[in-house]
Structure 1
């Protein structure tokens, strides 16, 4: 079963693609809850189909948004680029519009938001602005906001953007980010060993033309600036937040940054409903060798009831 696809029109005329997996007549249960997925950087929503179909069998209607600059409908010249102006806010507002659409389609059902990596930061920004519109927030492969590191990194990105333009794709930025992550697993079999211990999943990522592209400095400017705008003091305090990561994920500083993020959320009074580090797992938890455990954990987070 492949996903159905629909499009929602944003105020600026952008067509927001939404992939839909809804329990059908062959499912064990009818839809009793809703999950919307915000994917990571340089990948796309269809990669979450195995998880979505597994959740369908447990009564979860799953939807995955294609972020701007990603997915099969994005022109190649725009791939890896949010927008020329206000890209970060537009991506957040796209997600808000998708959530409103799903609320109207599934009235009364609990709705959870799952964000992976880049999507986890988009989801946090969404929760900061629209937290009353969701019932549960799941953050996967996320990290603390290290301002001492991110601020000079943003300065470098803006310097390159001024000299080369917002559509420039910088090999230097790639070396400082994804290449640096991968070097932690040297000697490397591929350029993306850091994603998963499952070699088959890494090979599928590398063979996918919609994955692994270099993003523009315009996107990096929006993304890092967006991360620096996150402030959990402004979050809705009774929103249950579930955090999960691999303890060998370089994005989460091999678990150290992930734990500091949780401590910072608790200090801000955020309701940290659950936290879990998967031993030995790398960045893409849902595609790891322990994917069955991860999927089960995701489901447990979805059915979480506040005490």
Structure 2
């Protein structure tokens, strides 16, 4: 496996974003772009990356602004600057362009997890993305905290004032994560929703590149909600090419995906709007990180490899909105 390091200036004009392109020893079959979730970093996907590279795919991923190595270098955590919803999507489009400069003319597949599933959906709407496939893992859909609980007036006021770069109030953050551990018993820790396996939860908590406890800024929280709204809007489905294959993966105990119902909702809406190639797997008994749960990790990787193989083996172009 060869490794290319990629650096570029974020669209917030503040941070240097750090990314990596992993390539197999053979000619790559396609590029798979992994977009990580909130409060984590791209190298938490090492097992999936290794499996994909061993299967003949190149993989590209970065640590978003306010996250991972990018935040380690800037010293700024869980803040992407003003206009956060636009910045994170624009940064992933920049990473895509740089990966394509290194490996041109390959099918391009995006795999987005959690917050990354929101970024991936909005990225797929961009006509310049030209995706061959879209995989959504731990899909953020029908989240109670955003759809029903969060005080949007208070959030807007906090995110547009002079203190917008300062930490969001505990009340707003609590509203975002409303109900996340209520199914997991009275002794559940604050991140018990991450995984059923306690070792995965513990690893998530002690990883210094995660820094999940770092306070998010008000403007970041506002951008997170705006991005969620855009990815889950009824109008989003019309922006996706009807011929784009989509894979949706979730756990039925994952509050981010409304315990699996959010995954089925997005899949059903895609089919109802003319997107015929949609596969959905909701895994029983597991929570958010189905790609890291010991009981489902291999199945998730097999699903992802099979999906990427099918879409990259095609000779016909993906249908666009203009065709």
**TM-score between the two structures when normalised by the length of structure 1:** 0.88
RMSD: 2.6
Listed one character per residue, the Cα deviations across residues 201-230 of structure 1 (whole Å, up to 9, x for unaligned) are: 111111112321332221110111122233
The superposition leaves residues 236-290 of structure 1 with CA deviations (integer Å, 9 ceiling, x where unpaired) of: 2221111111111111111122211222222222344311111112101111122
Work out whether residues 21 and 56 of structure 1, in 8 Å CA contact, stay in contact via their aligned partners in 2. yes
> What TM-score do the two structures reach when normalised by structure 2?
0.84
Name the CA distance, whole Å, in 2 between partners of 1:208 and 1:278.
26
2:160/2:219 contact within 8 Å kept: no
- Report 1:1-307 matches (<5 A): 5-10=5-10, 12=13, 14-24=15-25, 29-74=26-71, 78-83=76-81, 85-130=82-127, 132-144=129-141, 149=147, 153-161=151-159, 165-166=163-164, 167-178=166-177, 180-211=179-210, 212-213=212-213, 214-230=215-231, 231-289=236-294, 290-305=296-311
Structure 1 distance, partners of 2:27, 2:129, is 26
Cα deviation for residue 10 of structure 1 reads 4.6
The range that moved more, 124-133 or 141-150, is 141-150
- 3-state secondary structure, aligned to 1:144: coil
Q: Is the 8 A contact 2:109 2:133 kept in 1?
A: yes
Question: Are the equivalent residues in 1 in contact too, given 2:21–2:99 (CA < 8 A)?
Answer: no
Structure 2 gaps of 5+ residues are 317-323
Secondary structure class of the residue paired with 2:279: strand
- The 8 Å contact of residues 145 and 261 in structure 1, kept in 2 or not, is answered as no
In structure 2, how many angstroms separate the alpha carbons of the residues matched to 1:210 and 1:178? Answer: 21
CA distance in 2, matches of 1:138, 1:94: 19
CA shift, 1:300, in A, is 1.0
Count of matched residue pairs:
302
Going from structure 1 to structure 2, the CA distance change for 1:303 and 1:185 (only over 3 Å counts) comes to: same
